[in-house]
Amino acid sequence: MSQSQATNRSPAKKLQAIRGMNDLLPGQSAHWQYVEGLVASLMQRYGYAEIRTPILEQTALFARSIGEVTDIVEKEMYTFADRNGDSLTLRPEGTASCVRAAMEHGLLHNQTQRLWYQGPMFRHERPQKGRYRQFHQFGVEAFGLEGPDIDAEVILLSARLWQELGLAKHVTLELNSLGSSEARAAYRERLVAYFEAHYDVLDEDSRRRLASNPLRILDSKNPDMAAMLADAPRLMDHLDAESRAHFEGLTARLAAAGIDYVINPRLVRGLDYYGRTVFEWTTTALGSQGTVCAGGRYDGLVEQLGGKPTPAVGFALGVERLILLLETLELIPPRASDALDVYLVPLDESAEAPAMLLAEELRGALPALRLQLHCGGGSFKSRMKKADRSGARLALLLGEDELREQRVAVKFLREARDQQNLPRETLATCLPEWLADAPA
């Protein structure tokens, strides 16, 4: 017997989900559907089309795009050899796959594209609140547009999402510019010199990054380095003229649209491919995992992956953090739940087939109605108990008398209101009225 068979048979080993990978249970999944529905509609309203790519890609795609010396590629990827010996990786983010697919299918050939995606991403991080090993992102990517108008558009799109979710007051837009690659290279030298002069203050992580990715040191949350970082040279002060004009074009548009922002000169992104505009939407309501949405411009990536030079800008939004935020602030509307409107009870066996037909009739007449039909038989008492426990607002009761008279009894399960008995054909008009005034 092989070792894996032995493990499978071992009665002591309880089967559990993988650490950092969550099940979404009834109740919670409705919150996700609410957010997903809103995002899909928003994207459509802004003229963005959805792209769906595989969850697995060749490892080289991420190594080449995200950058060899980033946290993701250094230590967070789920990489394995498949049965052919090819190195594959569960996608840690969506941009690389999106660029790969767009190039592969000629979507970037002499045209612009406004795309969005959603789905699971995988990173081997230390699981904690707001940080998981399988998590989900929504993302947008706009290709072929180099001006600040499109940077402003993707930020306005995200701002509208906060507004529609009731979150506008709870998130802050932070902006920075990483300049051109030349400006960044010159700044990098200046920054390394500064850090070398303060080498004694650098923690181990930062010392390691000094050679490989010194800009990332700016992002450190280590309080012992805070004072030193506050005095570090700022890329914002050393921007090339074009990047400066681009940034001013963006901030002027945001101001015109009434979008508040703060400039955070230490905002850098964890991925190598960003240049010029970078931004984050942050909140203080989630503790240290406060970045809900992050993005920026990545004009060099398409070329880096073997395509023609193509300007690009986008963002990715962490769905778990967004939903956690909505739940924390109690901003999920009551209708974003699995709650039933109606529980339909055939009172005895002979009423079961007619009840099923009535259920179908009502579902046809009232498409928004949430109706569950009692199944599984049982005594009168147990049927009524199930109705009570269903959480529905109303129970419709169908027994021998009702069938004979073509009527239906209506029991109000959550209001002190007398039971009613009414002609079957009036249900389609009465139900929406009752459900509209009943308490949520």
Binding site for ligand ATP (CB under 6 A): 93, 123, 125, 130-132, 135, 137, 270, 289, 291-294, 316, 318, 320-321
Report the nearest approach of ligand ATP to the CB of residue 293 (Å): 6
Report the nearest approach of ligand ATP to the CB of residue 133 (Å): 7
Closest CA to 246 of 291, 311, 309: 311
Nearer to ligand ATP, 135 or 343 (CB): 135
* Distance (Å, whole) CA 195 – CA 10: 54
User: 């969506």: which residue's tokens?
Assistant: 94
Report the nearest approach of ligand ATP to the CB of residue 113 (Å): 21
From the CB of residue 149, how many other CB atoms can be counted at a distance below 10 Å? Answer: 11
Nearer to ligand ATP, 75 or 308 (CB): 75
Nearer to ligand ATP, 93 or 299 (CB): 93
* Distance (Å, whole) CA 365 – CA 156: 39
The tokens describing 352, both together, are 């079961």
Nearer to ligand ATP, 133 or 424 (CB): 133
From the CB of residue 231, how many other CB atoms can be counted at a distance below 10 Å? Answer: 9
Report the nearest approach of ligand ATP to the CB of residue 317 (Å): 6
Under 8 Å between Cβ of 412 and 372:
no
User: 């983010």: which residue's tokens?
Assistant: 93
Q: Across 217-284, where does the E strand assignment appear?
A: 262-263, 275-282
Report the nearest approach of ligand ATP to the CB of residue 132 (Å): 4
CA 175 vs CA 114, 248, 281, 297, 417: distances in Å: 22, 11, 9, 12, 56
CA 156 vs CA 48, 257, 326: distances in Å: 13, 8, 20
Nearer to ligand ATP, 293 or 345 (CB): 293
φ and ψ at residue 220, rounded to 5 degrees:
-60, 140
Report the nearest approach of ligand ATP to the CB of residue 180 (Å): 21
* Distance (Å, whole) CA 73 – CA 124: 10
The tokens describing 150, both together, are 């499109």
* Distance (Å, whole) CA 215 – CA 274: 12
Nearer to ligand ATP, 153 or 320 (CB): 320
The tokens describing 327, both together, are 């739940």
Burial (0-12, 13-18, 19+ Cβ within 10 Å), 5: exposed
Q: What is the Cβ-side half-sphere exposure of residue 33, based on CA atoms within 13 angstroms?
A: 12
Residue with CB nearest ligand ATP?
Answer: 318
Nearer to ligand ATP, 229 or 344 (CB): 229
From the CB of residue 160, how many other CB atoms can be counted at a distance below 10 Å? Answer: 15
Nearer to ligand ATP, 220 or 310 (CB): 220
Nearer to ligand ATP, 292 or 358 (CB): 292
* Distance (Å, whole) CA 356 – CA 373: 7
* Distance (Å, whole) CA 301 – CA 306: 9
Nearer to ligand ATP, 187 or 281 (CB): 281
